[in-house]
A = this chain, B = another copy of it.
Amino acid sequence: MFDVRVALAQLNQTVGALEANATAILRHATDARHRGAQIMVCPELAVPGYPPEDLVFKPSFVAANLRAVRQLASQTGEMPIVVGFVDLDGGNLYDAAAVLQHGRIMGVYRKIKLPNYGVFDEKRYFASGPTGLVLDTGPLRIGVTICEDLWVPNGPHIEEAQSGATLIVNLSASPYHHGKWRERQRLITTVAREANAAVAYANMVGGQDELVFDGFSLVTDSRGQILAQAPGFEEELLVVDVPVEESVPREPAGSQILPLSLPIHPGTTLQAPEICHPASTEEEIYQALVLATRDYVRKNGFADALIGLSGGIDSALVASIAVDALGPTHVHCLFMPSVFTSEESTEDAKTLSRDLGIPLRTIPIDPAIDTYRELLAPVFAELKEDITEENLQARIRGNLLMALSNKLGFLVLTTGNKSEMACGYATLYGDMAGGFAVIKDVLKTMVFRLVVHRNARARGPWLPKRLLTKAPSAELRPHQKDTDSLPPYDVLDPILEAYVEEDLPVEAIVARGFPRDVVRRVARLVDRAEYKRRQAPPGVKITSKAFGRDRRLPITNRFSEESG
């Protein structure tokens, strides 16, 4: 048993930013060398960014990514760096890991297990690699794997262990959903025991469109004991002395063997590594939303965000997230009251903006409502008022937000939650208008929990407490309440989780104790709102099944359980 000093670079890369991504890798490599690391492992596709999606079909993109890896290799020395890139061979693309050292690409591993479920489309892009790769460094053999390789039975780590690997490294880009870090711990622990090898798992961190990568890179010993876990939701260079057994290869070795020298262990002692984990579900979700929002705004070239404050809890939570993501000077709010806006909402919007330290602009929308009414009167004639007039108010607000966005260059953050998105309780081109839907995957009951959590945190000002007690209302007609149209959220949300995330049939949800008519109604609402969700802005996935590419349902769809 001896120690090998491994550095895991938990990087926040940007898709397509090849030079900046390579620079970040080199910066961490310098740091790793200073801390005596013998090898550095980066996340999956750290050079091109993850997921590059159909960019890999552009030959110019793949070529630029290959140039970037060669350029990166040319700047390496004694310490090997294992980096993810898109490899090209014989017309096939591979999700690959290059071992860079002494100015050269020493070897390449190609991912074998390609996920093609949930948000993943990897079989669309990549061919499977042939075998594992084992780095033969003398007393220690190191098996290289990429993300999904460890998540399926009989991954290449088994074969690599048979080829003598007593340390398995994994390059990952594992998207967040709440509790995912625990699933990963269980997985890595199992892998370590299966392979009887220590495992060093390097995860990506940061936001990319609808995905956020939470980090929490970790290291276990060969018994599956967790030795270190990096913090979540931030960049980190995790340097750990990993105790490993001397390798005793068994023949025949199925894996490709690459001889590689490692720099010698510096002999110094590292600080006892930390095992970081989130304080609570609310804390982890809140941090995921903050990071995803910051990265979406900034990686898309914006500095400032704009939010329509209604005085309700959803927009209050989004404003708070935006302030934590961008700082109060980069968050702008617009309050757009109508004759239906309550005094409480007006007060709460003002209190909130004052307490968060963000400027509040106010534009009352009644004159615009009146103008539209007059314009539409000849067409609408004697038809009575209905949802049309409510939608108009929401769309006027959407227009005003977009006008400010266009004129001032702010990105509009929408404020709809998952309960609303699920049921279609939102106005297309109205409250759905904007660039990023921060809490689109957060059920309303979790919105409440996040606000309670936000107020309980030591730092930062409180959000108005009345947000937690007043009845939710869209305030689009007199005395309106959400419960006029939807079941109470503590009934609705568990039904939505069962129907959307678990894909359970109506009867199975009824068996959990919910009234049949309510479950049926909710299922119908969800089915019929697909067309709205298709035009929604992207938003952060925080559950195991978010609307978006996680859940690909047709709009044109006559199936319902009653009819089936």
Contacts and interface: CB of A to CB of B under 8 A. Distances in A.
A485 interface: no
A469 interface: no
A24 to B, nearest CB: 13
Given A363-B376, A505-B60, A563 B18 contact: yes
A372 interface: yes
Contacts of A557: 15-16, 55
A33 interface: no
Interface string A327-365: 000000000000000000000000000000000010111
A457 interface: no
Contacts of A220: none
A248 interface: no
Contacts of A49: 558
B64 A564 contact: yes
Contacts of A364: 375
A283 interface: no
Interface in A5-55: 14-20, 49, 51-55
Looking at A57, A123, A564, which has the most chain B CB atoms within 10 Å of its CB? A564
B559 A18 contact: yes
A449 interface: no
A332 to B, nearest CB: 10
- The number of times this chain is found in the oligomer is 2
B379 A361 contact: yes
Given A54-B552, A371-B368, A556-B14, A376 B402 contact: no
A326 to B, nearest CB: 16
B121 A564 contact: no
Interface string A380-398: 1001001110011001101
A554 interface: yes
A400 interface: yes
Interface string A485-517: 000000000000000000101100000000000
A60 B400 contact: no
A531 interface: yes
Given A208-B556, A556-B14, A399 B428 contact: no
A406 B383 CA distance: 12
A86 to B, nearest CB: 12
A433 interface: yes
A64 B564 CA distance: 5
A553 B429 contact: no
A494 to B, nearest CB: 18
A395 B560 CA distance: 35
A378 B53 CA distance: 44
Contacts of A299: 556, 558
A116 interface: yes
Given A391-B403, A406-B388, A433-B428, A554 B53 contact: yes
A536 B428 CA distance: 11
A554 B402 contact: no
Given A17-B558, A534-B538, A429 B391 contact: no
Given A16-B554, A17-B558, A407-B388, A435 B531 contact: yes
A560 B301 CA distance: 14
Contact of A124 (B117, B208, B563): B117
A289 B170 CA distance: 49
A386 to B, nearest CB: 7
A546 to B, nearest CB: 13
A405 to B, nearest CB: 9
A254 interface: no
Given A16-B557, A505-B60, A552-B53, A406 B387 contact: yes
A403 B429 contact: no
A4 B429 CA distance: 57
Given A116-B123, A208-B554, A556-B296, A402 B406 contact: no
Interface in A517-551: 531, 534-538, 551
A526 to B, nearest CB: 12
Given A123-B123, A535-B535, A564-B18, A503 B57 contact: yes
Given A398-B429, A558-B16, A372 B368 contact: yes
Contacts of A420: none
B553 A55 contact: yes
B387 A375 contact: no
Interface in A298-342: 299-300
A3 interface: no
Nearest to A406: B388
A368 B379 contact: no
Contacts of A398: 395, 429
Contact of A375 (B16, B368, B372, B561): B368
Contacts of A375: 363-365, 367-368, 400
A58 interface: yes
A555 interface: yes
Would you list the 9 A-B pairs with minimal beta carbon distance, nearest first? A16-B559, A64-B564, A17-B558, A60-B505, A388-B406, A429-B429, A16-B558, A371-B371, A388-B407
17 contacts: A14-B556, A16-B559, A52-B554, A55-B554, A58-B505, A64-B559, A67-B564, A116-B123, A116-B124, A121-B124, A121-B552, A295-B556, A296-B556, A371-B371, A379-B404, A398-B429, A535-B537
